[in-house]
Structure 1
């Protein structure tokens, strides 16, 4: 038996489905779909693992410390994210509105809230802003594309993406506060 979705999410689903459907319909344009798929794949882990790994090269004096900070922050964020996701059990838009929203990318699970891709994108942007702000012209557009890809591919609601962004922001700020 599937857990019951909280009423607040039922209302959000009804408010968001039409906007999500319109946005997901943009994925019918092949160049845009290819862009969203690429952003989604990069945001899954490759971009962030690369960013963590190159910290010693980017900042010879403090890069190893930043590498550890980014890695530990990401691991803690993943643990909290999974706890939230498995407790709230909000189904993905393409599952809830299967006749209206097509999913053009495979999902690992049924649940959408919050967006882990967006959480990491925002978290790493905030950490990078504090340590290597010159990388932001590359990371900010990538992060925006990653967030858009989650809705455009039919995997998340807009509120999932906003919640993921807020969680990522909070983890980055906490990490910067605790570690510096």
Structure 2
């Protein structure tokens, strides 16, 4: 546990830097909008559109997405409930969250995990869109920090988990990775 303490200190200091500045209210408004794009509705829309207009390529994208989320969700819940890491505002009385999170613990960031599942799949199946998808996923992760509901390491671990689950799903389905 000693090796985690320095990381936790850096996480808390970074959160304080992100949340205690005079522009935190306008930044939070923008961050809410960005974070909302990672609530899940767009993932279903992307999958449905790919399936409807993408032929077998779109069907493979949808299948890989369904398998990736079937892998990701249990791992996400297992990690979240095993680590039981408290959220930033619970660790410092000077930090305020700008939204109410949908669950109790912070590690890993579920929004970031899901966004990186989608970014990885989009990058593989639609390479021309990879840069935009990756930036969108990174913005979702950043927004979660700027809203005060996640630490930097929650987002980093979420990104790794999401990309890994997407890659594993494509390997399981025999999609050339």
Instruction: Identify the residue that residue 145 of structure 1 maps to in structure 2.
Output: 139
Distance 1:133 1:150 in 2: 26
Match of 2:118 among 107, 113, 124: 124
Distance 2:102 2:65 in 1: 24
Instruction: Identify the residue that residue 24 of structure 2 maps to in structure 1.
Output: 28
Whether the 8 Å CA contact 2:124–2:130 is kept in 1: the answer is no
Alignment of 1:20-59 (within 5 A): 20-25=15-20, 28-30=24-26, 32-59=27-54
For residues 21-64 of structure 1, the C-alpha deviation after alignment (integer angstroms, 9 at most, x for no partner) is 1112356241x222210111111212222222211245223312
Instruction: Identify the residue that residue 99 of structure 2 maps to in structure 1.
Output: 105
Distance 1:47 1:9 in 2: 35
- Structure 1, unmatched stretches of 5+, are 1-5
CA RMSD of aligned residues (A): 1.8
Moved more, 81-90 or 40-49: 40-49
Change (3 A) 1:12 1:173: same
Pairs aligned (count): 173
